Copies of this chain bind each other. A is one copy, B any other.
Amino acid sequence: MIAVGVDIGGTNSKFGFTDREGTVIAQSRMKTQGFPDTRSFLKELKKQIESIHSLDEVVGIGFGAPNANFYNGTIENPPNLPWKGIHPIAEEAEEIFGKRCVITNDANAAAMGEMVYGKAKDMRDFVVLTVGTGLGSGIVINGELVYGKHGFAGELGHTLVSFNGRSCQCGKKGCLETYVSATGIRRTVYKLLADYTEPSPLRSISFDELDTKSITEAAAAGDKIAIEAFRYTGRVLGMKLSDFVVHTDPEAIFLLGGLSKAGEHIFAPAQENMEKYLMPLFLDRKIQLQPSGLKDDDAPILGASSLVWKYLVKKE
């Protein structure tokens, strides 16, 4: 038995075949843009998927996508995808592929991937934060993803850091993801470059070109601006983690995505500040912030395909 995982992203959609243990048997990607509607996208996706491996032994297809609603099997008004409105992707895909399909948002898929293939196999209560362009999160309680009344639970990237803080693409100000994300740390670097006079290799990189990788490399080479940017980012993250912990009392919090590759530059200040602001009752429990057990490159496909084992295949 094998599963297909599809991660629909703003620019590219990644897809791959995986077995029950999380081995990615084959994978590829295609442009998400350039299709007038979701049906034409899905038809091309089927062609591309079949070009790398047969669908014969596939028991189901899991989709991860921004603004996906698990309850309805839809994608709803995604700001970063080319299709406006509400689209019944799961139903359309079942018809086109002739396979059972399930969809959830990308951060929930990542959390499911951690539970099915990663470090959370034996955990029933944990949180996964996916820190890419934005900050997504999936909350698991009693071994089940938390969807909430309307299917929107786990929008931790939009908790409040500061009343009059940075403008967020969601329309609010001061959201966590304006500080803790690839975009957030870029903004922090630019603020530090403006505020201080230290020379830094980052001064030669434009805002548009600056990415987490450059900042990570600069920090590793001892650049003060880069190190301070991670320290600041970790402090903001840690402060909000202390709030997340008292909500659902998780066993662990996993970090996935570009920012997590900075290692101790981000984990140390985040853990330190989480504990600093955490209700003392929880301190004995040593709740660890740790890197995800999924390889970053495979994580979107693994997250999406894990939905198949969780929701479509009966437990042995």
Contact = CB atoms under 8 A, between A and B. Distances in A.
B170 A281 contact: yes
A279 B170 CA distance: 7
Given A125-B148, A148-B250, A247-B244, A281 B155 contact: yes
A141 interface: yes
A152 B125 CA distance: 12
A175 B243 CA distance: 10
Interface in A236-266: 239, 242-244, 246-251
Interface residues on A, range: 35 or more
Contacts of A280: 170-172
Interface stretch (A8-16, A156-164, A198-206, A225-233): A156-164
Contact of A148 (B141, B170, B243): B141
A144 interface: yes
B175 A149 contact: no
Contact of A149 (B124, B247, B277): B124
B153 A247 contact: yes
A142 interface: yes
Query: Counting chain B CB atoms within 10 Å of each CB, which of A148, A150, A154, A244 scores highest?
Result: A148
A156 B251 contact: no
A282 interface: yes
Nearest to A123: B149
A311 to B, nearest CB: 15
Contacts of A144: 142
B149 A250 contact: yes
Contacts of A155: 246, 249, 279, 281-282
Contact of A248 (B146, B160, B172, B246): B146
B147 A249 contact: yes
A151 interface: yes
A79 to B, nearest CB: 10
Nearest to A175: B279
Interface string A113-143: 0000000000111000000000000010110
B146 A141 contact: yes
Nearest to A174: B277
A47 interface: no
Query: Counting chain B CB atoms within 10 Å of each CB, which of A139, A142, A159, A251 scores highest?
Result: A159
A232 to B, nearest CB: 14
A235 to B, nearest CB: 10
Given A142-B144, A160-B239, A149 B172 contact: no
- Ranked nearest first, the 7 interchain pairs of A and B with the lowest CB-CB distance are A148-B249, A158-B279, A153-B249, A155-B246, A149-B251, A125-B149, A159-B243
19 contacts: A123-B149, A139-B247, A139-B248, A141-B141, A148-B248, A148-B249, A148-B250, A150-B285, A151-B249, A153-B246, A155-B246, A155-B282, A156-B246, A156-B247, A159-B247, A160-B243, A163-B277, A170-B281, A244-B247
